[in-house]
Amino acid sequence: MFALAFNMVKYFFLEKNDNTYTTLPHTRTALTHAMINIHGKPDPHYRYTMHKLDTVCKRNNKTYFLNLPTVSEELKRNSDEILKWFALTLGVNSNVKEVSLAGKYETSTLQTHFQTYINTHVLCDICGNPETIYLPMLKNVLAKKCASCGGTSIVKVLPKMIKMFVGLSQ
């Protein structure tokens, strides 16, 4: 709730002071509230939900993530890790401080890509629930352990991201 309130204040502030946004304010407010199932499939009874990504393109040819801290917290993942994953997947540079990617991307395109990240890094391969945490890396292999079914599955890590997980103690 606090995160949501913070984001709303942030949007208000940005829109008052920055006229380079290309999306209409009312559209973006609607997106901010949109919740979707973490497994990405329609199911009104599914208990694991998250906010849809909220992103915006600016005239400086960058795409900014506006709610990545909220979304990453909902997935119990690190937002820097997610940003890096997007950068490597799209083959562009990212800026951690700005939470941005080089280039202009539609929010829906990023959301589609994001589901691939969620499927590989968050959802349990055995039961499909998103209650996983990473285990300490062993011989450059990252595994996720599921609190829901107790199963362990391997995460297909992009080679350039391996060093982000080395020494991770979660």
The residues in 149-168 that bind Zn ion, with binding defined as CB under 5 A, are 149, 151
- Closest approach of Zn ion to the CB of residue 11, in Å: 36
Q: How far apart are CA 30 and CA 153, in angstroms?
A: 36
**Applying CB under 5 A, which part among 10-18, 32-40, 109-117, 141-149 lies near Zn ion?**
141-149
Q: Encoding tokens for residue 64?
A: 């900014």
Span interacting with Zn ion, options 39-47, 82-90, 99-107, 118-126, rule CB under 5 A: 118-126
The correct pick among 127, 158, 161, 164 for binding Zn ion (CB under 5 A) is 127
* Token pair belonging to 5: 């309130």
Contact yes or no for 146/127 (Cβ under 8 A): yes
Neighbours of 49 (CB within 10 A): 12
Could you give the 3-state DSSP secondary structure of residue 9? helix
Asked if 142 is part of the footprint of Zn ion (rule: CB under 5 A), the reply reads no
d(CA 49, CA 37): 4
Interface stretch with Zn ion, choices 29-37, 97-105, 108-116, 119-127 (CB under 5 A): 119-127
Per rule CB under 5 A, is residue 148 in the interface with Zn ion?
Answer: yes
Dist CA 128 CA 168 (whole Å): 23
With CB under 5 A as the contact rule, the residue among 56, 83, 146, 157 that binds Zn ion is 146
User: What are phi and psi for residue 34, nearest 5 degrees?
Assistant: -70, 125
Q: How far is the CB of 41 from Zn ion (least distance, A)?
A: 16
Q: What are the structure tokens assigned to 96, written together?
A: 């951690």
Which of 126, 158, 161, 164 touches Zn ion (CB under 5 A)? 126
Question: In angstroms, what is the minimal distance from the CB of 38 to Zn ion?
Answer: 13
